[in-house]
Amino acid sequence: MKEITHERVVLDTSAYSHFRGNHAAVIDAIAAAEIVLVPVVVIGELEAAFRMGSREKENCVVLQEFLAEPFVRMLPIGADVALRYGALVSALRKAGTPIPANDVWIAAVTFDVGAHLITFDSDFARVPGLSCTILRASARRRS
């Protein structure tokens, strides 16, 4: 598998989940990055999943510890990202290739900060010009 080496990487929900599952490529991408960025939309998706699971408190604590790392930053959604979101939704629909709304938000914020998205979600391949790596779920590290 090709090594992912980008100074600034954005993790989507699937990438964070696979990171927690010790996926080798995600761990390597995080280790190689200067900055790891997590969109607030991803935090929302994770919080919802945690609340529906049996390890809510543990998962929330681990996420907060990860977000507290000095190389990790949470990405807010501001007016510029909202404008980019609107343009992306329109372009994707006109092209007949819409993707889920939260994925559009993640793409918009990734464009806004000029970073590289790490994901397992092939929907992101439909976003023209998005710098991203779409991984497969097979590579796990041994603990």
Specify the pLDDT at position 137: 80
pLDDT at 5 over 90: no
Between CA 115 and CA 83 the distance in angstroms is 18
Q: What single string gives the DSSP state of each residue in 115-143?
A: -EEEES-GGGGGSTT--EEE--TT-B---
Specify the pLDDT at position 142: 47
CATH code of the domain containing 62: 3.40.50.1010
Please report whether residue 125 resides in a domain.
Answer: yes
Tell me the pLDDT tens digit for each residue of 33-42: 999 999 999 9
What's the chain's length in residues? 143
pLDDT at 118 over 90: yes
pLDDT at 141 over 60: no
Structure tokens that stand for 132 in this block: 């991203």
Domain count, the chain: 1
Predicted TM-score of the model (pTM): 0.91
Percent of the chain with pLDDT over 70: 92
Question: What dihedral do alpha carbons 84, 90, 92, 93 form, nearest 10°?
Answer: 160
Count Cβ atoms below 10 Å from residue 26 Cβ, excluding itself.
Answer: 27
Between CA 123 and CA 50 the distance in angstroms is 23
Specify the pLDDT at position 22: 94
Whole domain around residue 85: which residue ranges? 8-134
In contact, 119 and 12? CB cutoff 8 Å:
yes
Please report whether residue 93 resides in a domain.
Answer: yes
Please report whether residue 81 resides in a domain.
Answer: yes
The pLDDT mean for the chain works out to 92
Specify the pLDDT at position 50: 95
Average pLDDT over residues 8-22: 96
Specify the pairing of strand 35-39 against strand 116-119: unpaired
Which amino acid belongs to residue 61?
V
Tell me the pLDDT tens digit for each residue of 46-75: 999 999 999 999 999 999 999 999 999 999
Q: Is 99 exposed, middle or buried (0-12, 13-18, 19+ CB in 10 A)?
A: buried
In contact, 34 and 7? CB cutoff 8 Å:
yes
